[in-house]
Amino acid sequence: MDPIVIATGNPHKVDEMRAIFAHKGIAVIGLKDLGGSFHEPSETGTTFEENASIKALSYAQQTGRMCLADDSGLEVDALDGAPGVISSHYSSGGREMGLTREQRDLANNTKLLKALESVPEGNRTARFVCVMCLAIPTNVLALCRGTFEGRIGLPGDVPRGAHGFGYDPLFLLPLPDTRSSAELPTEEKNRLSHRAAAVALMPQEIAALL
pLDDT tens digits, one per residue of 186-198: 889 888 989 889 9
For residue range 121-136, list pLDDT tens digits in order: 999 999 999 999 999 9
| pLDDT average, residue stretch 85-106 | 92
Cα 35 vs. chain centroid, distance in angstroms?
23
Q: What's the burial of 44, exposed, middle or buried (CB within 10 Å: 0-12/13-18/19+)?
A: exposed
Nearest C-alpha neighbor of 57 from the set 143, 130, 146: 143
Active site residues: 71
- Can you give the residue ranges of every domain in the chain? 4-209
Helical segments of 8-123, H only: 11-22, 31-34, 48-63, 101-115
CATH 3.40.50.2300 is held by the domain 4-209: no
For residue range 94-104, list pLDDT tens digits in order: 888 888 889 99
3-state secondary structure of 35: coil
DSSP code at position 74:
E
Identify the sign of the CA torsion 83, 88, 89, 94: negative
Q: What's the burial of 35, exposed, middle or buried (CB within 10 Å: 0-12/13-18/19+)?
A: exposed
DSSP code at position 88:
G
| pLDDT average, residue stretch 101-130 | 96
